[in-house]
């Protein structure tokens, strides 16, 4: 008989950006919230919460992923296509579901969650079909929301998170400087963005040598393309006198940072950078520099 779920411990756990004490602290606060709300289990399904509580970023490709947290355990529910990587990267355990029959994900949920009681899920992430399938898998379980309470917990940053944010801002600064270095009349947008992205990835690898190098990228727009902040990168060549706009997004293991420069002619970008002491993101502004000066440029 083909297994519906299995455990894959392949290799050793990989070094994490956050300490064990940091991850244990996050889970302790969550479990305190669960106890106060009468939840005996939580099923997270979003990228951000699975990463926040388990330090693992999944790649869905049409498959559901989850993280079950109880008062005693933390276990991700992952697809067989990922092999042992979810366990190696994750803080907790990992239960793998196979694709031999449909909805084996929910078989994994049944294995990890008590039949009765109350389970918290993310109402802002779980669609109606997923909710109905979960209710069918756990017919005697009350389903309540954990999305909003967990978001409030994530808003309060710890010293380790602040340090990572500071590093991410510095990496974005380096990407911004790379944009300026590659900039010139006749240079296509994608060439400038590619140079910036490559520079940021190299810096991330240097600062975090055990990193997963994930979705670092650069938005760079010129001329008419600057009318939308999320307009796609194009082959358009920059022309003299163009308005320019960029967004630098270094990704440290699924923790995305962003530096945005608003549409400004190139001379104004230079003056803005100088006012911030050369730091485009303001991550390390000079003491005594009034940010309102930047707005007046």
The verdict on 131 and 39 lying in the same domain is yes
Which residue range forms the structural domain that includes residue 62?
5-155
**142 and 164 assigned to the same domain:** no
Q: Return the pLDDT at 263.
A: 60
DSSP H helices, the chain, are: 20-37, 47-54, 85-89, 104-112, 128-137, 147-155, 159-182, 189-207, 266-275, 292-296
Domain C-terminal end among 155, 189, 215? 155
Residue numbers in the chain where pLDDT is lower than 70: 1, 253-254, 261-297
Q: Which of 93, 125, 155 is the last residue of a domain?
A: 155
Which residues participate in catalysis according to the annotation? 230
* pLDDT for res 179: 93
Among the candidates 134, 155, 176, a domain finishes at 155
Residues 84 and 212 reside in one and the same domain: no
Q: How far apart are CA 1 and CA 56, in angstroms?
A: 30
pLDDT value of residue 101: 92
The predicted pLDDT at position 262 comes to: 58
Kindly report the backbone phi and psi dihedral angles of residue 78, in degrees, each rounded to the nearest multiple of 5, phi listed first: -130, 165
Residue 102's pLDDT is what? 93
Count structural domains, the chain: 2
Residues 170 and 287 in one domain: yes
Any idea what the CATH number is for the domain that residue 248 is in?
3.90.230.10
pLDDT at site 273: 40
190 and 148 part of one domain: no
pLDDT of residue 289: 42
Pairwise CA distance, residues 58 & 35, whole Å:
28
CATH of residue 146's domain is 3.40.350.10
Q: In 86-125, which positions are buried (b, 16+ CB within 10 angstroms) versus exposed (e)?
A: bbbbbbbbbbbbbeeeeebbbbbbeebbeeeebbbbbeee
Rg of the chain on CA atoms, in Å? 23
Q: What are phi and psi of 260, to 5 degrees?
A: -120, 130
Residues 151, 164, single domain; the answer is: no
Q: Are residues 212 and 97 in the same domain?
A: no
Q: Does 142 share its domain with 10?
A: yes
């Amino acid at each position: 008989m083909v297994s519906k779920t299995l455990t894959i411990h392949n290799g050793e756990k990989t070094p994490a950006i956050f300490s064990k004490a940091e991850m244990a602290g996050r889970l302790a606060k969550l479990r305190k919230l669960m106890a106060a709300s009468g939840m005996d289990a939580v099923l997270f399904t979003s990228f951000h919460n699975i990463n926040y509580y388990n330090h693992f970023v999944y790649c869905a490709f049409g498959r559901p992923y989850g993280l079950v947290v109880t008062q005693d355990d933390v276990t991700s529910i992952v697809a067989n296509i990922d092999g042992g990587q979810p366990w190696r990267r994750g803080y907790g355990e990992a239960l793998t579901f196979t694709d031999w029959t449909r909805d084996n994900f929910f078989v994994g949920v049944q294995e990890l969650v008590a039949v009765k009681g109350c389970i918290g899920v993310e109402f802002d992430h779980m669609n109606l079909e997923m909710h109905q399938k979960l209710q069918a898998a756990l017919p005697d379980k009350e389903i309540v929301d954990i999305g909003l309470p967990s978001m409030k917990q994530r808003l309060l940053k710890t010293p380790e998170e602040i340090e990572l944010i500071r590093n991410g801002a510095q990496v974005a600064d380096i990407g911004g400087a790379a944009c300026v270095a590659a900039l010139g009349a006749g240079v296509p947008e994608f060439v400038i963005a590619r140079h910036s992205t490559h520079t940021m990835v190299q810096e991330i690898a240097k600062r975090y040598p055990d990193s997963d190098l994930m979705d670092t990228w650069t938005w760079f727009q010129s001329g008419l393309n600057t009318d939308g902040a999320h307009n796609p990168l194009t082959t358009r060549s920059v022309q003299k006198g163009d308005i320019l706009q960029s967004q630098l997004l270094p990704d440290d293991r699924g923790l995305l940072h962003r530096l945005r420069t608003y549409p400004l002619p190139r001379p104004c970008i230079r003056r803005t950078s100088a006012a911030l002491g050369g730091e485009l993101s303001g991550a390390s502004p000079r003491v005594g520099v009034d940010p309102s000066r930047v707005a007046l440029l």
